[in-house]
Amino acid sequence: MGEIIDELVEKEGELAVLLRYGIPPDAAPAAPARAAAPAASPPGDDLIDRLLAAANQAPIILPSSELTWTGTVVELAAYQGRYAHIAEVGLREGHTLGLLAADEGMLCLTASERDLEPFERLRGLVGRDVEIFGWLVDGTDMPVVQVTASRPQ
Protein backbone atom coordinates (compact mmCIF):
# COMPACT_ATOMS: atom_id res chain seq x y z
CA MET A 1 0.00 0.00 0.00
CA GLY A 2 2.88 2.34 0.80
CA GLU A 3 4.26 2.00 -2.72
CA ILE A 4 0.89 2.91 -4.21
CA ILE A 5 0.64 6.03 -2.06
CA ASP A 6 4.24 7.01 -2.84
CA GLU A 7 3.53 6.58 -6.56
CA LEU A 8 0.38 8.74 -6.32
CA VAL A 9 2.27 11.41 -4.38
CA GLU A 10 5.04 11.45 -6.98
CA LYS A 11 2.56 11.57 -9.87
CA GLU A 12 -0.08 13.98 -8.48
CA GLY A 13 1.63 15.77 -5.60
CA GLU A 14 1.16 15.49 -1.86
CA LEU A 15 -1.59 18.08 -1.61
CA ALA A 16 -3.70 16.40 -4.34
CA VAL A 17 -3.38 13.01 -2.61
CA LEU A 18 -4.26 14.53 0.74
CA LEU A 19 -7.34 16.33 -0.60
CA ARG A 20 -8.59 13.29 -2.54
CA TYR A 21 -7.96 10.53 0.02
CA GLY A 22 -7.60 12.39 3.31
CA ILE A 23 -5.15 12.04 6.14
CA PRO A 24 -4.67 8.46 7.34
CA PRO A 25 -6.98 7.84 10.37
CA ASP A 26 -4.17 7.14 12.82
CA ALA A 27 -2.46 10.42 11.86
CA ALA A 28 -5.55 12.66 11.77
CA PRO A 29 -6.26 15.06 14.61
CA ALA A 30 -9.36 14.32 16.74
CA ALA A 31 -10.98 17.63 15.78
CA PRO A 32 -10.54 19.84 12.71
CA ALA A 33 -7.42 21.83 13.56
CA ARG A 34 -4.09 22.63 12.04
CA ALA A 35 -1.70 19.69 12.18
CA ALA A 36 1.15 19.97 14.65
CA ALA A 37 4.65 19.68 13.26
CA PRO A 38 6.48 16.64 14.62
CA ALA A 39 9.39 17.52 16.91
CA ALA A 40 11.47 14.34 16.61
CA SER A 41 12.16 14.10 12.87
CA PRO A 42 13.20 16.83 10.45
CA PRO A 43 10.36 18.21 8.28
CA GLY A 44 9.74 16.29 5.10
CA ASP A 45 11.41 13.18 6.50
CA ASP A 46 8.52 10.78 5.91
CA LEU A 47 5.24 10.72 4.01
CA ILE A 48 2.96 11.32 7.01
CA ASP A 49 5.00 14.38 8.05
CA ARG A 50 4.83 15.78 4.52
CA LEU A 51 1.07 15.14 4.31
CA LEU A 52 0.48 16.83 7.66
CA ALA A 53 2.57 19.80 6.50
CA ALA A 54 0.48 19.96 3.31
CA ALA A 55 -2.67 19.99 5.47
CA ASN A 56 -1.51 23.26 7.00
CA GLN A 57 -1.56 24.81 3.52
CA ALA A 58 -4.92 23.36 2.42
CA PRO A 59 -8.44 24.35 3.41
CA ILE A 60 -10.08 21.83 5.70
CA ILE A 61 -12.68 19.83 3.80
CA LEU A 62 -14.77 17.65 6.04
CA PRO A 63 -16.12 14.38 4.62
CA SER A 64 -19.62 15.86 4.64
CA SER A 65 -18.60 19.03 2.81
CA GLU A 66 -20.47 19.66 -0.41
CA LEU A 67 -18.21 20.05 -3.44
CA THR A 68 -18.71 21.67 -6.86
CA TRP A 69 -17.92 20.43 -10.36
CA THR A 70 -18.41 22.00 -13.79
CA GLY A 71 -18.53 20.20 -17.10
CA THR A 72 -20.76 18.73 -19.79
CA VAL A 73 -23.62 16.34 -18.99
CA VAL A 74 -23.42 13.10 -21.01
CA GLU A 75 -25.55 9.98 -21.33
CA LEU A 76 -23.28 7.13 -20.31
CA ALA A 77 -24.87 4.71 -22.81
CA ALA A 78 -24.02 6.99 -25.74
CA TYR A 79 -20.59 8.19 -24.62
CA GLN A 80 -17.71 7.03 -26.88
CA GLY A 81 -14.86 9.30 -25.81
CA ARG A 82 -11.64 9.02 -23.83
CA TYR A 83 -13.41 7.85 -20.65
CA ALA A 84 -15.61 5.18 -22.26
CA HIS A 85 -14.30 2.58 -19.80
CA ILE A 86 -15.70 4.60 -16.88
CA ALA A 87 -19.01 5.04 -18.71
CA GLU A 88 -19.25 1.26 -19.24
CA VAL A 89 -18.60 0.52 -15.57
CA GLY A 90 -21.08 3.23 -14.57
CA LEU A 91 -23.76 1.67 -16.77
CA ARG A 92 -23.15 -1.75 -15.20
CA GLU A 93 -23.55 -0.13 -11.77
CA GLY A 94 -26.90 1.38 -12.80
CA HIS A 95 -25.88 4.97 -13.54
CA THR A 96 -27.35 6.70 -16.60
CA LEU A 97 -25.76 10.17 -16.59
CA GLY A 98 -22.21 11.39 -16.27
CA LEU A 99 -20.35 14.68 -16.10
CA LEU A 100 -17.36 15.21 -18.36
CA ALA A 101 -15.36 17.59 -16.16
CA ALA A 102 -12.20 19.26 -17.44
CA ASP A 103 -10.25 18.66 -14.22
CA GLU A 104 -11.67 15.32 -13.06
CA GLY A 105 -12.47 13.45 -16.28
CA MET A 106 -15.67 11.39 -16.25
CA LEU A 107 -17.82 11.41 -13.11
CA CYS A 108 -20.87 9.17 -12.83
CA LEU A 109 -23.89 10.98 -11.40
CA THR A 110 -26.55 9.70 -9.02
CA ALA A 111 -29.57 11.31 -7.38
CA SER A 112 -29.53 12.57 -3.82
CA GLU A 113 -31.69 10.54 -1.47
CA ARG A 114 -33.14 13.79 -0.08
CA ASP A 115 -34.04 15.50 -3.37
CA LEU A 116 -34.34 13.83 -6.79
CA GLU A 117 -35.13 17.05 -8.68
CA PRO A 118 -31.55 18.38 -9.25
CA PHE A 119 -30.54 15.05 -10.82
CA GLU A 120 -33.75 14.75 -12.87
CA ARG A 121 -33.19 18.30 -14.20
CA LEU A 122 -29.89 17.10 -15.69
CA ARG A 123 -31.74 14.73 -18.06
CA GLY A 124 -32.86 17.81 -19.99
CA LEU A 125 -29.35 19.27 -20.04
CA VAL A 126 -27.48 16.46 -21.85
CA GLY A 127 -24.78 18.01 -24.04
CA ARG A 128 -24.81 21.29 -22.12
CA ASP A 129 -22.34 22.76 -19.65
CA VAL A 130 -23.57 22.73 -16.06
CA GLU A 131 -22.42 23.36 -12.52
CA ILE A 132 -23.12 20.51 -10.11
CA PHE A 133 -23.03 20.49 -6.32
CA GLY A 134 -22.87 17.29 -4.33
CA TRP A 135 -20.85 14.69 -2.46
CA LEU A 136 -18.42 12.05 -3.66
CA VAL A 137 -19.87 8.62 -2.93
CA ASP A 138 -17.54 6.38 -0.92
CA GLY A 139 -17.01 2.69 -1.57
CA THR A 140 -17.03 2.74 -5.37
CA ASP A 141 -14.33 1.84 -7.88
CA MET A 142 -15.10 4.93 -9.94
CA PRO A 143 -15.85 8.58 -9.20
CA VAL A 144 -19.57 8.91 -8.38
CA VAL A 145 -21.20 12.18 -7.36
CA GLN A 146 -24.50 12.33 -5.48
CA VAL A 147 -26.09 15.45 -7.00
CA THR A 148 -27.68 17.85 -4.50
CA ALA A 149 -28.03 20.87 -6.80
CA SER A 150 -27.43 21.61 -10.48
CA ARG A 151 -27.71 24.57 -12.80
CA PRO A 152 -26.88 25.32 -16.43
CA GLN A 153 -23.93 27.59 -17.08
pLDDT in tens, 27-52: 555 555 555 555 555 555 678 777 77
What is the reported pLDDT for 24? 57
What is the reported pLDDT for 102? 85
pLDDT in tens, 105-145: 999 999 988 889 999 999 999 999 999 999 988 777 788 99
Start-to-end CA distance of the chain, whole Å, equals 40
Q: What is the pTM of this model?
A: 0.57
Is residue 83 packed enough to be buried (19+ CB in 10 Å), middle (13-18) or exposed (0-12)?
Answer: buried
Delimit the domains of the chain by residue range: 2-57, 67-152
CATH class of 67-152: mainly beta
- Band (pLDDT 50/70/90 cuts) for residue 72 is very high
Q: Could you count the other beta carbons within 10 Å of the beta carbon of residue 107?
A: 25
